Structure 1
């Protein structure tokens, strides 16, 4: 229907997108919901239609946005692993975001543009303490630098008539997250040790770091609240964080206690990520004041759910296409 408002979700087939797509369907039932996809064989959530485009092909993005004229744009897509190839990271995180933003500015200047940035942008400033939105960003890798640059670009390129919401999201996890991330790799290794698939040795990186963790469902709840909150400001920037520092070694010990088989712990140099930030924590008071949001899932529940999910995945592996 021509008068039906449209919502465009970019990055909806990723880890967070899988959770967010369902929440958006519930929050925007009257919208035409379109998920940008470059692959015809990607799994598309029920209740969504495909909008064929590739962020690295600006003309395809232009064509899709011009045809759809989305009132709501939700942009989650990113080269997300911090040790990814720097050039590819900048192409996706900045170049792809610029292609989307410039098309939206021309063809859909009204409504809302939601951009998922990262707490990684604070970088070296974590040495000064807990990061608030007023903390000066000092990124330390291509992922964080490209995210910060995209934030500034969006503020410039999008017209004031397009409300811009930027979330600096801290670590979040849950069932389905890639094993390259620390908590899923712990849970996956334990499940394999229990199943007898690998020797009883946990291979780890730096265990002394302290990090801020949330459950992905709590992050999605924050995102939906921001999108549906009647905030009159045209530019909104918030941290999405727990406000708590969890030592990686302590989280591993909680998982060790839940393991059905004992195991040794061995440092794997390949898993050591170059960083001199011992503690990274975010303050989400602004988000809480603005929307009433608060995280609901304690870290113990998060870890238990991760481990059970990996146990189930090994017991019932997904058939390969």
Structure 2
């Protein structure tokens, strides 16, 4: 059985990767910023493949501490690449970037494809562009292969309430369980986003680790445009509650992208992947997960 090293194993997506495929998590005490400890761990594990998920991925935190974001996302990736090379790694690595690197995209240019110009609008996105460029360079000049992915919004059980749909699901379930008044606090819910179930995202990762082109970059998305208000209404209906929706000014973001949808044509061409889990199922599973946590 192939030994796959997984960084970021204890995060939202990492837990789903572990549920889907056999892998060896990077020990939680190993910090990507600690070159010596990381190199020792990689040498001990001697992986045949790597899924590199670990990152500082919360955009507000990247504004508060951009240096830490770069230390983890860019320099941490460089430390991992150097550790793999020192361990004579000759397999394949999957680098997980972000669809956020495209930045503000004019509506006439939707859906977003991989060749679209990159216009980052926050330190997190800048760090992901830099790390992706670094991975491309190593894919061409090192002794191992690297495939890069740009996932767009994904949802599913286990997601933190720091993210909008998971937060709405938590609020809805709190109302259903009589833990709060029937009022939902939201930001701008009249925007659209491209959401994919996290389990479909993980399936794409595993396919690309085997079938993606070395040095290739792939959007991972549903190719569908979902209005946030509609998803909130679905959560309310699935939970069988009545609730008032109130906009909280503190949740509004300046210069919000009004619409977003991307294309997964390249991913489908190379692997045959397409999303299989319905939005209704994703939302129901998210509600069920919050019900368990709040009981």
Is 2:259 aligned against 1:282? Answer: no
Q: Show structure 1 runs of 5+ residues with no match.
A: 26-32, 40-52, 316-321
Q: Over residues 22-73 of structure 1, what are the superposed CA-to-partner deviations in whole Å (9 max), with x where a residue is unaligned?
A: 3221xxxxxxx4311233xxxxxxxxxxxxx211211111222233332211
Of 27, 33, 49, the residue aligned with 1:37 is 27
Match of 1:191 in 2: 173
Is 1:313 the counterpart of 2:290? The answer is no
CA distance in 2, matches of 1:110, 1:275: 44
Assess if the C-alpha contact under 8 Å between 1:126 and 1:280 holds in 2. Answer: no
2: CA distance, partners of 1:193 / 1:179: 15
Matched, 1:71 2:48: yes
Contact 1:125/1:136 (8 A) holds in 2 = no
2:127 matched to 1:146?
Answer: yes
- Asked if 1:179 corresponds to 2:161, the answer is yes
Which structure 2 residue ranges, 5 or more long, are not aligned? none
Task: Describe how 1:1-321 pairs up with structure 2 within 5 A.
Answer: 6-25=3-22, 33-39=23-29, 53-84=30-61, 85=64, 86-125=66-105, 127=107, 128-158=109-139, 159-229=141-211, 233-315=213-295
SS in structure 1 of the partner of residue 263 of structure 2:
coil
Matched position secondary structure for 1:83: helix
Greater mean deviation of Cα atoms: 295-304 or 240-249: 295-304
Higher helix share: 2
Instruction: Work out the CA distance in 2 between the residues paired with 1:240 and 1:142.
Output: 21
SS at match of 2:202: helix
Moved more, 149-158 or 14-23: 149-158
* Greater displacement, 100-109 / 250-259: 100-109
Q: Residue deviations 1:143-180, cap 9 Å, x none? A: 11111110001122353431111110011111110001
Counterparts of 2:171 and 2:293, CA distance in 1: 12
- Report the Cα offset of residue 12 of structure 1: 0.8
Whether contact under 8 Å (2:56, 2:124) holds in the other structure is: yes
User: How far apart in 2 are the matches of 1:305 and 1:6?
Assistant: 30
Secondary structure at 1:280 match in 2: coil
TM-score between the two structures when normalised by the length of structure 1: 0.85
Calculate the TM-score normalised by the size of structure 2. 0.92
CA contact (8 A) 1:102 1:157 kept: no
Which range moved further: 117-126 or 197-206? 117-126
Change (3 A) 1:5 1:289: closer
| Matched position secondary structure for 2:59 | coil
1:186-230 Cα shifts (integer Å, max 9, x gaps): 11001111111111110001111110001111001111111222x
Counterpart of 1:144 in 2: which secondary structure?
A: helix
Please list the CA deviations of residues 250-300 of structure 1 after superposition, one character each: whole Å capped at 9, or x if unmatched. Answer: 111112222333111111122223343111211000100111111011212
